[in-house]
A and B are shown apart, each in its own frame.
Chain A
């Protein structure tokens, strides 16, 4: 029970008096004690009871502390009390440093031996008796750990005030990163030093001791006989100091994070996982390697420290850092300094880091510990390999999705895959123009402006009272307003919902975007029936959204629904309608429905030329798409012609480095390659690659696209090693940038598989092709031309390897499957693929037989047959020429 004096009781009854008391006490406490008396004279004039009350409160605040009689470990204040001079047999000499955990002192041990040691005093409140016990039990293993690169831990105990302490070998050294910078060590020397560190950590791991808190401050470098040697300190202490049971917290009492955020592995940070193993140390080593190579940490912890703690931790846990070369490439001024400290020019540093060193570092930094190096010695071995110019194992093993004709799709695909946002905005802007045209009434225009302004007014700092509002919140708020505020003006509502839907979509919030757009369509139809202009427009956006998500079948359906209405309402040659028809053609192309795409696009192109002009940007885009389709249909000479035309106009009107120009150039190169004009193709591709790298950067999907195609060309020229090297680079980046299951991403893998096959690396090819096939089936569907292609490639590989049974089964399964379908689509092609496999495997007679069957079941592409490398081995046989002739005859007599 709390006893209250009369004074206090009085206070209870008079809240205004309490306010006054608070004010006076507050002010008094801010004043110098010397000046308080005079202040109180003033403030409490003529009110002695008030003054008494106030003085009693002030003295309660001020008086010196009592005796302490708590348990040894419960007094954080003690550290700031009278300075310690010695603890047990250790005489404290001077402070060496101070950290989150506590202080490190240089001490002199007086007995049983005289020597200098480092004594680490742990801030109390962090450790408790159980942890100390744990440490004691580990001392045994720590004691038998004897490695020249690991500082020994001699002793542990509790200081008089109760703080735990550890006594370690005194290492007079400099943190490794500092040492390397001071000496301006070049990369190989840094790496050799790093290898020593890894080996030391490995030694400890063999004794089942994980460090848990590896960072440069814990890895000191000393020079012995002029050579640098690392000494790792604090082994075993981190474990004792940082409790690792599942129900222990990450924080100290004061909310300070235990551990060093920049170097902590993701599993150490996740509160639901807290067990650590040797790979935790691998991660920290990865961070240190990163720092040694680039001069920066993978995550900008300075910036991050300003974030709220949970966000900081989430970022560290869930985001991927930039690769070392990317980091250095992007850093500008800092890079000049970093490169200099490594004896290099900035560009040289980037080049050196790119490739092997990137891969090795990133593998050590994998968030998923199963994908990291399993131990420090594996990491050390990799670096050793690098130093000896041998290939490292960290090459993208998991990145096995490949892109083949990525460039082919470029007319629209570029926009969809990488510049989708830009295109979406362009689409929206164009539609917006329509919006403005129709809403001519001043009233409505004003209301739109009003709405738009109010939408963004929330971002006004005064409105927001200093809180940061996200774009998302603005959107959501506005969505609400549209629904409630504009209910009286459904037409405006429909228009705005259409706009909002696009904005959501442009932020990647597809479900919300879709919902908005669907509402827009509904609302529009409610007002104006199925041909309501706003509804029609929204349908276009909606289909485009579906297209963006790769839902091609749905997009096709919706486009087809929208077009007749648009033709009726806006006219066939109106920009909106043309746009929609163009997108329909693209969707059909993506779906592999090339013939239909051709017929749609031919008409669109003709209309574009007539309505917009032959050199209009939209027309040019349409030409590109048309050429893509022609190419898909294997009408390559026509495609080449059209690409050239487009390229010529674009170079003239837009400039040689404009994105669209480069796209056409890239596409043209692809066509040339198909026509066998490899030198021309390679030249064009290298030019395009240079331009794109310069303008977009080396990791931009468009740059990668032309790179992939360059690899393709090199492959056609049988320059396999060069091709494979480039493919590997592209794969790695694309997995990061586009994602492994992006339809465009997937296609690339097939090519590498084929290249490997042609190069004779059959085991590798088989493995890759299998995983690509699985993914394509999942993402594109089992009947997509791309999936079929990979299927055929895999079968061919198996055939060549001599795994005849499986190969044949794949081919015949496919043939059987087609036979069951009405019309038996692609049956000839299936036999043809089988024939190719047989030819590659050396079964010539069988191959010829199959080609014949292919012809009989409808495969008549003599051009392809003649140029197909897979059938190379049959060329010398007279049967080959005969079959080609037969194909030609049949195709000229059959109606097309």
Chain B
């Protein structure tokens, strides 16, 4: 019985094997990159990008034949969220340079909505997040996992090893802070 390489790597990583993580990242990155770009390129003017949808998708493609493990999924999404953010930002920067005004916007679902705007300029969000990370690394990670990865409160808590209450609170405060930042910036 052959196990999906990604699944195996995930398991090993969870058991503390950092080399597995090294091997994992490019695999996940490639898949996400593929998905994201196909999506982004297809659209015409509205780059309605479904970040969490793509992460779900990537997960299914890479892991869907292996043994199912919710812990695995949460960890997968944790990596994917970080990569997704990177991919989107890269795309935006590149795109912005090439076509003026054609920005990549992320459509925000109600759960993830930043107060004050329905869509967020990816680059502005990325900058704001980086700023937040300087103040509170964990908090910015929470935003990344929830926003780019689509993890629930419980899953986020699990991945970071903190309580769901903390996640909830930090998430609300982060939203407030980010809105304020992005409005100013």
Contacts and interface: CB of A to CB of B under 8 A. Distances in A.
Contacts of B38: 247
Contact of B183 (A60, A62, A249): A60
A465 to B, nearest CB: 9
Interface string B89-126: 00000000000000001011111010111110000000
A251 B110 CA distance: 16
B110 A76 contact: yes
A251 B64 CA distance: 15
A314 B43 contact: no
A129 B46 contact: yes
B176 A77 contact: no
Contacts of A250: 56-57, 60
Nearest to A308: B70
B13 to A, nearest CB: 16
Given A18-B136, A61-B175, A62-B115, A2 B127 contact: yes
Size class of A's contact patch?
35 or more
Nearest to A318: B65
Contacts of B71: 467
A130 B105 CA distance: 18
B88 to A, nearest CB: 14
B181 interface: yes
Interface stretch (A67-75, A368-376, A446-454): A67-75
A632 to B, nearest CB: 35
Contacts of A82: none
Given A29-B172, A57-B176, A249 B56 contact: yes
B173 A57 contact: yes
Contacts of B117: 65-66
A65 B181 contact: no
A308 B68 contact: yes
A23 B45 CA distance: 41
A1 interface: yes
A314 B68 contact: yes
B54 interface: yes
B46 A26 contact: no
Contacts of B105: 70, 74
A308 B155 CA distance: 11
A21 B73 CA distance: 33
Contacts of A130: 42-44
Given A18-B136, A73-B46, A247-B38, A1 B54 contact: no
B50 A25 contact: no
Contact of B116 (A22, A66, A73, A253): A66
A509 to B, nearest CB: 9
Interface in A127-185: 128-130
Contact of A310 (B48, B63, B172, B185): B63
A228 B131 CA distance: 65
Nearest to B63: A310
Contacts of A1: 127, 185
Contacts of A12: 134-135
A62 B176 CA distance: 8
B113 A77 contact: yes
A115 B98 CA distance: 51
B39 to A, nearest CB: 7
B87 interface: no
B8 interface: no
A25 B127 contact: no
B27 interface: no
B172 A25 contact: yes
B15 to A, nearest CB: 10
B95 to A, nearest CB: 16
A252 B53 contact: yes
Interface string B32-46: 000100110011111
B118 A15 contact: no
Given A271-B64, A313-B60, A254 B108 contact: no
Contact of B56 (A21, A76, A128, A309): A309
A648 to B, nearest CB: 47
A125 B173 contact: no
Nearest to A243: B42
A4 interface: yes
A74 B119 contact: yes
A537 B116 CA distance: 73
A60 B176 CA distance: 5
Given A247-B35, A308-B70, A252 B63 contact: no
Contact of B179 (A3, A60, A68, A247): A60
A311 interface: yes
A876 interface: no
Given A1-B185, A314-B68, A60 B180 contact: yes
Interface in B8-42: 35, 38-39, 42
A25 B176 contact: yes
A125 B107 contact: yes
Given A26-B173, A71-B46, A251-B53, A4 B118 contact: no
A22 B169 contact: yes
A22 B173 contact: yes
A310 B59 contact: yes
Contacts of A310: 59-60, 63-64, 68, 73
Contacts of A251: 50, 52-53, 56-57
Interface in A75-123: 75-77
A271 B169 CA distance: 35
B57 A255 contact: no
A136 B174 CA distance: 43
A70 B119 contact: yes
Contact of B52 (A15, A77, A255): A255
Interface of A: 1-5, 11-12, 15, 18, 21-23, 25-26, 29, 56-58, 60-63, 65-66, 68, 70-71, 73-77, 125, 128-130, 247, 249-255, 270-272, 308-311, 313-314, 467
7 contacts: A1-B127, A25-B173, A26-B170, A61-B115, A65-B117, A254-B52, A255-B56
Interface of B: 35, 38-39, 42-46, 48, 50, 52-54, 56-57, 59-61, 63-64, 68, 70-71, 73, 105, 107-111, 113, 115-119, 127-128, 131, 134-136, 139, 150, 169-170, 172-173, 175-177, 179-181, 183-185
6 interchain residue pairs of minimum CB distance: A26-B169, A60-B180, A61-B176, A71-B46, A311-B68, A251-B53
